[in-house]
Amino acid sequence: MQNAFTNPLVALHEVTLSLLTQDSSDKLLNALLDRAVEFTGADSGTISILDDSRKFLEIKAFRGFEQDMPKTVKLKIGEGVTGRCIVTGKLRNVGDTSQDKYYIAVRQDIRSELAVPLKVGNKNFGVISVDSKRLDAFNGEHEEYLQTLADYAAQIFTTTTSVESLSHRTHLQDVLLQISGVLGKYADVKLFFEEVIRILADKLGVRRSAIYLYDSVTNELSVAASLNYSPDEIAKGRYSPGEGVTGKAFKQRKAIAVSDISQDSQFLNKTGHQREDEDIVSFFAAPFFEGGEPRGVFNMEFKFQSQSKFEDQSFLAQILSSLFGQALQIEKLVQQSSREVKEENIILRRQLKSTFEYENIVGAHPRMAELFARMKMAADSASAVLITGESGTGKELIASALHQNSMRSANPLVKINCAAIPADLLESELFGYARGAFTGAVDDYKGKVLSAHKGTLFLDEIGELDLKLQAKLLRVLQEKEFSPLGSNKVIKVDVRIIAATNANLEAAVKEKTFREDLFYRLNVVRLAIPPLRERTSDLPLLVQHLLDKICERNGKKVPVINEAAFQKLQSYTFPGNIRELENILERAVVLNAKNEIDVSDIQLGDGSIVPTAAAVGAGAPAGFDLRTYLKEEIAKSTPGEIFTSVIGNVEKEIIRIALNQNQFNKRKTAEVLGVNRVTLDKKIQQYDLFEI
């Protein structure tokens, strides 16, 4: 009865299962060699892969040899049985090594050797070979099995290597996104340098790194921030322009990458660092600039792993050096004393942080980065845009950003909420009317569409638009024309339409409540905003951004939010999204006399901290006393304005609570409050309760 290693079909099946479970190229090669040795009954074996120069074979896996064999044996192409195999690309079965003119004795007792090339298509990249102490140890069955195994494994090896490379690059992108998040955070650029180096060490395993700044007085580059540099090494690590790799990168104004510092004469190691391990170390030096002039050099060291990773790391060094140059520019602007320059500095910092901020929209989550990229591409086009997302996610802000970054920015951005105006009035509001069109129409009114001529028309809550008006809007999109109410005059108009909705328009089309042709006209470019609960990693950025905005608006100092309060926010799902987050933070700021926001200041849910009868009924916090609150509000109010200010505050909070409870659906909110939509919309404007 044949076992798995004498039956080639069974053995190949087991090999297939084994290879498919390997998650790295190193594990794959070792599993491959194990099976080859076991099946052929060999005494030893190796797998060799071409190095980056394609001149030598490097032993990546071995069996039956001394542990230091890979360091002592390095075959040239064409040298030995293995070297000939890679040159010819054909299998070699040597039954008697003493009679083979190419054979090189690696072990004195080897009498026969079988070598099979690893290749994809016509490209050879390695060799698998097995050896035996016996003469003529390998037969045709062994040849066939090893050839089949090598061909199959080569395909998997190539795929595994590609996946590893893709995973590595994705990880580098995540690290860059994290670093972008701290750009502009520190007024002192050296603190920024130290933060970046810490991230590189934690996330990428950078061994050593240093940031050198140029001193024009001493004409030297010296260490400003470092990783794994001793004080003595920092003192010694000074370079003149053109000296060593660091000095050359500075003088030549270009990045230099050294794959193996032990083999590169220009690497001076002036710090005198002693390396105890025997790993190949790669070194990268990239200059950074301010105002077009070189200001310093960024260095980092990695253990060499592969040529593709080496190239990725070289590109990373150049990107980081660019960020360091931007950080220097930020520091220079921050140091300016005039208010005008400070305001310009803030704008520049926002521009530099474009990888995680677009206009006034903040987010470092990959979905937000993707949204920003789509916005940048869509901004300058003339195509209609459909913005989708839950209430409170920031649809109006995105519409404003698209307009401000478009060729139409010098012309009007006209906004209208399709759900805020009754259907019988919305037509005249959108398309205007002619004098005498109805009672009270004493003059012509041009309407929102014509007001947006040469600019942008933003239609919020487009899903609430009446079918009759949908037809007129479709005419604007298709024919670029419309007729005012009560007029046969055709007006040509050049307007870009941006629409927004929190409704499922696809479902509305199926239900015949929204025109299919209009949907497809609006859905040319679609921007979907993720809800806050799906990008909670953005919470630190959003909290800081909103606190800055709230405190500026209220003339208050920005408080610190302690860990317990932040943890409470992180545990919440935010059904009202960013609008709800801003409301929570605003209450915490306005009703707080301290310079710190603690957990008791964070009131979640329906915001029932607000002292109104409605709030108490909806579940006010334990111990809350409405009478006490009103007394305090009256005591704080200006004489002569007590009634107006207190009642106004109560009315504002009632509307805020109702909006939050109904996720900013104005139709439902108006029904709950018992007011019409026009009144509700006016109150929202009066109290500045707009969507964030």
Could you report the per-residue pLDDT of 335-378, keeping only the tens digit for each? 554 344 444 444 444 444 443 456 678 888 888 888 988 898 88
Same structural domain, 389 and 507: yes
Looking at the domain assignment, is residue 691 inside a domain?
no
Domain that holds residue 612: 534-686
Looking at the domain assignment, is residue 593 inside a domain?
yes
pLDDT for 622: 41
Q: What is the mean pLDDT of residues 629-649?
A: 65
Query: How many CB atoms within 10 Å of residue 143?
Result: 16
| Residue 35: pLDDT band with limits 50, 70, 90 | confident
Report the mean per-residue pLDDT for the chain.
Answer: 80
205, pLDDT greater than 80: no
Burial of 549: CB neighbours in 10 Å, binned 0-12, 13-18, 19+: middle
Looking at the domain assignment, is residue 177 inside a domain?
no
Same structural domain, 285 and 212: yes
Looking at the domain assignment, is residue 1 inside a domain?
no
| CATH code where residue 42 lies | 3.30.450.40
Same structural domain, 432 and 484: yes
Looking at the domain assignment, is residue 640 inside a domain?
yes
595, pLDDT greater than 60: yes
Q: Among residues 137, 164, 191, which one ends one of the domains?
A: 164
Same structural domain, 638 and 510: no
pLDDT for 349: 44
Residue 154 vs residues 34, 121, 339, 414: alpha-carbon distances, Å? 16, 10, 64, 61
Same structural domain, 151 and 18: yes
- Do residues 299 and 196 make contact, with C-beta atoms less than 8 angstroms apart? no
Q: What is the pLDDT of residues 529-558, one digit of tens each?
A: 999 999 988 898 898 888 888 888 888 888
Q: What is the pLDDT of residues 652-666, one digit of tens each?
A: 878 888 887 777 788
Looking at the domain assignment, is residue 3 inside a domain?
no
Ranges of H-type helices in 526-576? 539-554, 563-570
Q: Among residues 329, 348, 367, which one ends one of the domains?
A: 348
Q: Smallest Cα–Cα separation from 452: which of 406, 412, 415?
A: 412
Looking at the domain assignment, is residue 48 inside a domain?
yes
- Do residues 413 and 396 make contact, with C-beta atoms less than 8 angstroms apart? no
Q: Among residues 505, 530, 555, which one ends one of the domains?
A: 530
674, pLDDT greater than 50: yes
Consecutive H or E run containing 257? strand 256-258
**Number of domains the chain is built from:** 4
691, pLDDT greater than 80: no
421 SS3 class: coil
Same structural domain, 202 and 337: yes
- Do residues 53 and 182 make contact, with C-beta atoms less than 8 angstroms apart? no
- Name the phi and psi angles at 117, rounded to 5: -75, 145
| CATH code where residue 678 lies | 1.10.8.60
Q: What is the mean pLDDT of residues 465-489?
A: 91
In the numeric block, which tokens belong to residue 221? 């580059």
| Residue 32: pLDDT band with limits 50, 70, 90 | confident
Same structural domain, 79 and 112: yes
| CATH code where residue 372 lies | 3.40.50.300
Same structural domain, 478 and 518: yes
Query: Can you list the positions of beta strands (E) in 6-81?
Result: 44-50, 56-63, 75-76
Same structural domain, 286 and 299: yes
| Alpha carbon distance 371, 526 (integer Å) | 10
Ranges of H-type helices in 67-139? 69-72, 80-88
Same structural domain, 548 and 571: yes
677 SS3 class: helix
Q: Which residues fall within 8 angstroms of residue 614, CB to CB, at 6 or more apart?
A: 654, 657, 658
Same structural domain, 13 and 89: yes
In the numeric block, which tokens belong to residue 509? 């089309």
Looking at the domain assignment, is residue 176 inside a domain?
no
Q: What is the pLDDT of residues 110-166, one digit of tens each?
A: 999 999 998 866 778 889 999 999 999 999 989 988 887 787 767 666 655 555 555
Query: How many CB atoms within 10 Å of residue 408?
Result: 21
388, pLDDT greater than 90: yes
Ranges of H-type helices in 296-412? 307-334, 339-352, 366-379, 395-404
Same structural domain, 322 and 383: no
pLDDT for 2: 40
Bridge partners of 239? 221
pLDDT for 170: 63
